[in-house]
A and B are shown apart, each in its own frame.
Chain A
Amino acid sequence: MIRLDRVTKAFGSVVAVDSVDMEVPAGAVCVLLGPSGCGKTTTMKMINRLIAPSSGKIYIDGRDTSGIDDVQLRRSIGYVIQQIGLFPNKTVEDNIRVVPDLLGWDRKRSRARAAELLRLVNLDPAIFLHRYPKELSGGQQQRVGVARALAADPPVLLMDEPFGAIDPINREVIQDEFMKLQAELKKTVVFVSHDIDEAVKMASHIAIFREGRLIQYDKPDNILAHPLNAFVAEFVGSDRTLKRLRLIKVGDVMLSEPPRVRAEDSLDTAAALMEEHGHISIVMVGPRGRARGVVRLEAARGKKGLVAEHVDKLPGLVNVQDDLRTAVSTMFTHDVTWLACVDDDGFYKGYITQRGITHVLGAAYRDR
């Protein structure tokens, strides 16, 4: 979709970007990552020719961008910057309509589009369309910034540290919103960041830059599991294996179809099931299969009675959609080595163990 072919940019004698080759597939979120001055921003700005490459070619959808008029090219690429850059003299609606207006859309269509986009970024058009940027919070402004970039439905989106100026709490929220949006819109996104956590969260591909060179370009899990050299290893952090926890969903690691008991089952049944599976506890579910509690082996073994009489509270639950980071955090919070996994409705789907997690993380290292 976007292909850089030996792209180089020199400012005088300083080589800011040195012969970078990379290909960003359609629908990917490619995060350009590196310390400041590494050439990541320059690389991104060469894609919409805000900076003209000194040599090399950039192709979008197979078309050489140097053959397209700069202004036309930029109108076909969404652009979001850290400082947001909403025009203070224009209303939210008029800010979103900038590119449609430049492209000569009729008024009716661009207005309808502005309202549609505001809904898409979770802002109520009735409230926000006719406000001015100064009347919005930072987070709201950047939502409008994203809406403005999407206005003419460009296939490619360039984002220059778009959430860097937003406070940490709102940043998480707006990142999540953007990921949801991206799952729907499937734009090809080139995203500059210096924050490895943001990159791991957002990226389908990470490109690590250093001193103008592209050092490593791979999927986030591969970068974290197999950093190419000491620089990458240090940049992604000594806790890089822990960061991989973010990339894996509970549902992918849990053991499904777990044994379970009901309130009316006898303790004998529960103990037999546990021994059969080699477990020291078992989840009790409600009549429709919701996780309700836990029965421990030492409480059940050799005793008479029903499960309902010896059930304990579940120490902690984790949603199958959560990532492993949440699961591990919940385990540490409750001082347990396993967790029951439930879906959005609370139905018991499986369980996840610390051993299971370390096994999955370790697999990436054993394979090599």
Chain B
Amino acid sequence: MQTINFILANLPIIGQRTVEHISIVGVAIAIAILTGVPIGILITQSKAAADRVLYVASIIMTIPSIALFGLLIPILSLIGQGIGYLPAVIALVLYSQLPIIRNTYTAIANVDPALREAARGMGMTSLQRLLHVEIPIALPVIISGIRNAVVLGIAIGAIATYIGAGGLGTFISRGISQTDIRQLLTGAFAVSLLAIVADYSLLALQRLLTSPGLRN
């Protein structure tokens, strides 16, 4: 009840924190898609390259988020951006690479070789093959990788408050430091809700973009 009163009394600030949170995750995911999808496609050309890239992306995944933020502080301090928005976005871009690259790579590499052969035999160029055959067929799996990255990003984004990036994590960190259960619950609830809404929206988008011929 107390928590509900707190939420109702603080709706404007919750809204503002939510916008901050979305802006960190949104920008990071956009960059991660623009880098991860092309990398995922490129590495289908070479098994050795694929193994190495996926290995590096997996290692990045294992670095605890708080440690990664810490590592970025001295590096970004060189350009005066050691804390705040930029390191938060960079960390999320790095974490998002694995699910996006891995899913893109797996989906493209698993396109039936007969389709590739048919496409080649009919006179499609490599780019046409990619655009008309491989990407449309791989799309559901690629988007499901993006969904993973978004949920992961929203969760890790909550920790970015410790490097002064704001967002919904602020309620959680203050709830802990001030032993204020209301703020803690508000933050936890808002982060979960945001993750669920984002995941379902992307699921809807995934269904929309999947050709009816590929649905089960």
Binding site for B on A (CB under 8 A): 48, 50, 71-76, 79, 81, 83-91, 98-99, 102, 132-134, 148, 158
Contacts and interface: CB of A to CB of B under 8 A. Distances in A.
B123 A132 contact: no
Contacts of B213: 88-91, 132-134
Given A85-B118, A87-B115, A134-B213, A75 B133 contact: no
26 contacts: A48-B121, A50-B117, A50-B121, A71-B123, A72-B123, A74-B122, A76-B123, A79-B118, A79-B121, A79-B122, A81-B114, A81-B117, A81-B118, A85-B112, A86-B118, A87-B115, A87-B118, A87-B132, A87-B133, A89-B137, A90-B211, A91-B213, A98-B122, A102-B124, A132-B211, A148-B122
Contacts of A132: 211-213
A89 B214 contact: yes
A137 to B, nearest CB: 15
A278 B86 CA distance: 107
Interface string B130-141: 001100110000
A134 B133 CA distance: 16
B125 interface: yes
B128 interface: yes
Most buried by B among A72, A74, A88, A102: A88
A81 B123 contact: no
B121 A74 contact: yes
B52 interface: no
B207 interface: no
A173 B128 CA distance: 35
Contacts of B115: 85, 87-88
Nearest to B210: A89
Given A89-B137, A132-B213, A71 B125 contact: yes
Given A81-B117, A83-B112, A84-B114, A89 B124 contact: no
A102 B123 CA distance: 8
Contacts of A76: 123
Interface in B139-159: none
B123 A75 contact: yes
Interface string B5-22: 000000000000000000
A88 B137 contact: yes
Contacts of A98: 122, 124, 132
B136 A89 contact: yes
Given A83-B117, A87-B119, A89-B211, 19 more contacts: A50-B117, A50-B120, A50-B121, A71-B124, A71-B125, A74-B122, A74-B123, A75-B122, A76-B123, A84-B114, A85-B115, A85-B117, A87-B115, A87-B132, A88-B211, A89-B214, A91-B213, A98-B122, A99-B123
Contacts of B117: 50, 81, 83, 85
Contacts of B123: 71-76, 99, 102
A86 B125 CA distance: 17
Contacts of A102: 122-124, 128
Contacts of A148: 122
